[in-house]
Amino acid sequence: MNGKYLQQHVPIRRQTVPVGHSVRFGYLETATAMLALLLGEASLLPAMEQTWEHMVQRRMYVTGGIGAVPALEGFGNDYELDPELAYAETCAALSCLFWNWQLSLITARARYSDLFEWQLYNAAAVGMGLSGKDYLYNNPLVCRSGVTRRAWYSVPCCPSNLSRTWADLGKYICSADADNLWIHQYIGSRIRVEMGEEVNIHVESDLPWIGKTSIHIKPARPREFTLHLRIPSWVAAEPASPMIKINNEPLASTGLAAARPSQPAQPTASGYDPEQSYFLPIRRVWSAGDMIELTYDMPICQRHAHAKVKGHQGKVALTRGPLVYCLESTDNPGVDIFSARLDPASLQTEHAPHLLGGISMLKGATQDGQPLTFIPYNLWANRGESQMTVWVNT
């Protein structure tokens, strides 16, 4: 044990690199952000933002998992992201959710809400089985044998942490002040927010399978304010994407173009870049019954690891919408999933209503014609012991 492992090596305002035990790291950063928000202590923010950027750019898996070294249950060096050794504890992902939420409240920057969504659907959701009665403590991105869900653990932090987060999920969907309403997550819900007076919000969403969301706004009386819609990083960067309608009238695409980040995606360790997310501001007089519809393209994306991440050259991770996908041996009998070479041109989305509770899977083929089936990473290990890989050869 040393100061870095315990995040006690330098004062918090000088900590700009994620180190040490990854769960403790997330909780410390969350507490620091809460303190900054409570006291209006702006001097705490720069170091946190640098730490967050360092984590995303150099020390985070494509699933949003953190913690590369099992012996430490914590961070390794920059770009040290072996997918098979990955610890990526479920609680570490959850601690990042809490941190992202606090940073989004402080800054109103979409990148924090985008990473919240990405980690929620991947690094966190994988921790609980479909039955709700079995769990994963650590979450590798490659499994050759030996990783199975358990009903309980001698250190049972992850099951109870998941339960409290799922129960509390409604509080992370939107935030507001007297003149602004931010929609951070597109999760079906009914929410009341205080903006000087009560505003009711009803979100209907087909995510993560279908790119369609409806938001119903019901203020106590007609009133003017700015609605900020988060446009996810995974939405196709096209002039008219997403399609947005207000009361069935299309919103001009010029507004999207003006709000969209001007900088191209930056190379990150994992190939995922939350900086491509942004908030689209819509200011108008809102009345009871107003409805906003968002329709997004959800292309299959091939994510490439940074060249400095060892062992990932010639491999891709497939994502669609906010979901990371994987090959599981259960769906690919007779295929060596670790040596198979994907033909990217073969990829297509197929809805499977009777598989794993109803999912969108990805279908493809190897370069010699063997069929391949990809399922969401968060649903692997629900059908007995199996092999799995997120990163596939091309």
Cα separation, 64 vs 116, whole angstroms: 9
CA of residue 345 relative to chain centroid, distance: 26
Give the pLDDT confidence score for residue 268 in this predicted structure. 97
Cα separation, 208 vs 216, whole angstroms: 19
Give the pLDDT confidence score for residue 264 in this predicted structure. 72
Q: Residue 224's beta-bridge partner residues?
A: 285
Contact 279, 231 (CB under 8 A): yes
Give the pLDDT confidence score for residue 151 in this predicted structure. 92
Q: What is the pLDDT of residues 36-61, one digit of tens each?
A: 999 999 999 999 999 999 999 999 99
Alpha helix stretches (DSSP H) within the chain:
22-39, 45-58, 90-107, 110-119, 157-167, 253-259
Per-residue pLDDT of the chain (394 residues; tens, 9 = 90+): 678 988 999 999 999 999 999 999 999 999 999 999 999 999 999 999 999 999 999 999 999 999 999 999 999 999 999 999 999 999 999 999 999 999 999 999 999 999 999 999 999 999 999 999 999 999 999 999 988 999 999 888 999 999 999 999 999 999 999 999 999 999 999 999 999 999 999 999 999 999 999 999 999 999 999 999 999 999 966 666 799 999 999 997 666 766 777 677 778 999 999 999 999 999 999 999 999 999 999 999 999 999 999 999 999 999 999 999 999 999 999 999 999 999 999 999 999 999 999 999 999 999 999 999 999 999 999 999 999 999 999 9
Looking only at the bridges linking them, the beta strands covering 223-231 and 180-183 are parallel
The reply to whether CATH 3.40.440.10 applies to domain 12-169 is no
266 exposed, middle or buried (CB, 10 Å; 0-12, 13-18, 19+)? exposed
Q: Residue 215's beta-bridge partner residues?
A: 203, 292
Cα separation, 93 vs 95, whole angstroms: 5
Q: 127-164 burial, b if ≥16 CB within 10 A, otherwise e?
A: bbbeeeebbbbbbbbbbeeebebeeeeeeeebbebbee
Cα separation, 99 vs 81, whole angstroms: 22
Domain at 173-295, CATH class: mainly beta
* DSSP state, residue 20: S
Cα separation, 155 vs 125, whole angstroms: 19
Angle at 74 between CA 310 and CA 94, to 5 degrees: 110
Give the pLDDT confidence score for residue 6 in this predicted structure. 87
Ordered by start, the domain boundaries in the chain are 12-169, 173-295, 322-393
Give the pLDDT confidence score for residue 237 in this predicted structure. 66
Give the pLDDT confidence score for residue 240 in this predicted structure. 65
Give the pLDDT confidence score for residue 1 in this predicted structure. 66
Is 173-295 in the same CATH topology as 12-169? no
Q: Residue 203's beta-bridge partner residues?
A: 189, 215
